Amino acid sequence: MKAFVVEKYGKDGVRAAQVPEPAVGPRDVLVRISAASINPLDKMVRNGEFKQLLKYKPPFVLGHDLAGVVTALGRDVHDFKVGDEVYARPRDLRIGTFAEYIAVDHADLALKPRTLTMEEAAAVPLVALAAWQSLVELARIKPGQKVLIHAGAGGLGSTVIQLAKHLGAYVATTASGKDADKVRSFGADEVIDYTTQSFAELLRGYDVVLDSLGGDNLAKSLTVLKPGGLAISVVGPPDPAFADQLGQPLLKPIMWLLSRKVRAQAKKRGVRYAFFFMRADGKQLQTLSALYDAGVLRPVLDRTFEFDETPEAIAYVEQGRAKGKVVIALPPAGAA
């Protein structure tokens, strides 16, 4: 089958290749991929930023989001059938959605939302799971709480805004002025134009900040929190709890050192810091499917590329040009 693989770590490391169709284990579902989407995580994995934690061995197929059709089942799988339309964010070390087929552990898979196209469904899994796990599990958002979401016009930010509003939060977001109406349409109550305004000067008393930019932006985010508030970063630095999530407790001292500065800054202000790295979860995706079908959540797409244009799609996202998710559409089975 055709796939796009990381031949070597680095910006120029992705190439098209013919690879064997994946083997189907007892717990696996073989999916013919109809669409996949690009995430910043793809660039980070391609560049080897997690190679000490997620030990992929080049060449490996890249890609973290998919929508497609079930074509075969492992012997222990009873919750799906051939022909089901499904979507998933496969678990770490089993990624590979920039391909014609993928074998996915059935626990990572869900029936796709009925109201979404394949391209729309492919844009959803990673960002929807990240929104759910960060807001519901980690932050435990309650109605009336105040949440600041950075980069609200992007694929992750737009999803988090929608879910935060569904959970009853007051939502502020940072975006460029030209995207103000767009992020308000997602449910943002307050929009800070980062090109002309400083969120750190304008906002106070927030319960939660979700930061996807890192660096100085994360440090400033601590200043808008009320005592006991929580800053969540999806870009790091990783904290000791992440070592537990990876099942590698021996890495705790390293992650303690990496996050020491920001944790000290947070402690000094009487607030908390947490690094967030989403995990695959088919049951949560099924819950999210219902929210998409009910119109509570909606996917936000920027544009769609053809499968052969996968490297161009990755470059487009890397340039920071996307306003929403970028999707790769694969030709139908049997197409030339």
Give the CATH number, domain containing residue 114: 3.90.180.10
Other Cβ atoms less than 10 A from the Cβ of 18: the count is 8
Are 153 and 231 within one domain?
yes
pLDDT of 115 above 90: yes
Same domain, 6 and 35: yes
pLDDT score for 243: 87
pLDDT at 251: 87
On average, the pLDDT of the chain sits at 94
Q: Which pLDDT value is given to residue 91?
A: 95
Q: What is the pTM of this model?
A: 0.94
308 and 198 in a common domain: no
205-246 pLDDT tens trace: 999 999 999 889 999 999 999 999 999 999 889 999 888 888
The set of residues, in sequence order, having a beta carbon less than 8 Å from that of 246 and lying 6+ positions away, is: 53
Cβ neighbours for 34, distance < 8 A, ≥ 6 positions apart: 67, 68, 69, 118, 122, 329, 330, 332
Map tokens 């309650």 to a residue.
142
The per-residue pLDDT for 334 is 62
Task: Note whether 186 and 244 are same-domain residues.
Answer: yes
Instruction: With beta carbons less than 8 A apart as the criterion, state whether 205 and 145 touch.
Output: no
Give the dihedral sign, CA 120/123/126/128: negative
Count of domains for the chain: 2
- The answer to the question of residue 180 being in a domain is yes
Asked if residue 178 and residue 109 are part of one domain, the reply reads no
Query: Residue 175 — φ and ψ, nearest 5°?
Result: -165, 165
Residues 303, 271 share a domain: no
Question: Where residue 150 sits, what CATH number does that domain have?
Answer: 3.40.50.720
| 136 DSSP 8-state letter | I
Quick check: 335 pLDDT over 70? no
208 falls within a domain:
yes
264-287 pLDDT, tens digit per residue, is: 999 999 999 999 999 999 999 999
8 Å CB contact between 225 and 206: yes
Supply 189's token pair.
């109550």
Is residue 146 included in any domain, yes or no? yes
Average pLDDT over residues 295-316: 95
Q: What is the mean pLDDT of residues 189-198?
A: 96
Asked if residue 21 has pLDDT above 70, the reply is yes
Q: Is 54 within a domain?
A: yes
Residue ranges making up the domain that contains 141:
127-275
Are 83 and 154 contained in the same domain? no
So what's the pLDDT on residue 144? 97
If asked whether residues 269 and 138 sit together in one domain, one would say yes
43-80 per-residue burial string, b: 16 or more CB within 10 A, e: under 16: bebbebebeebeebeebebbbbbbbbbbbebbeebeeb
Cα atoms in the 13 Å half-sphere on the side-chain side of 78: 1
Taking residues 171-191, what's their average pLDDT?
Answer: 96
Whether 116 maps to a domain, the answer reads yes
Residues 117 and 132 in one domain: no
Let me know whether 244 and 161 are in one domain.
Answer: yes
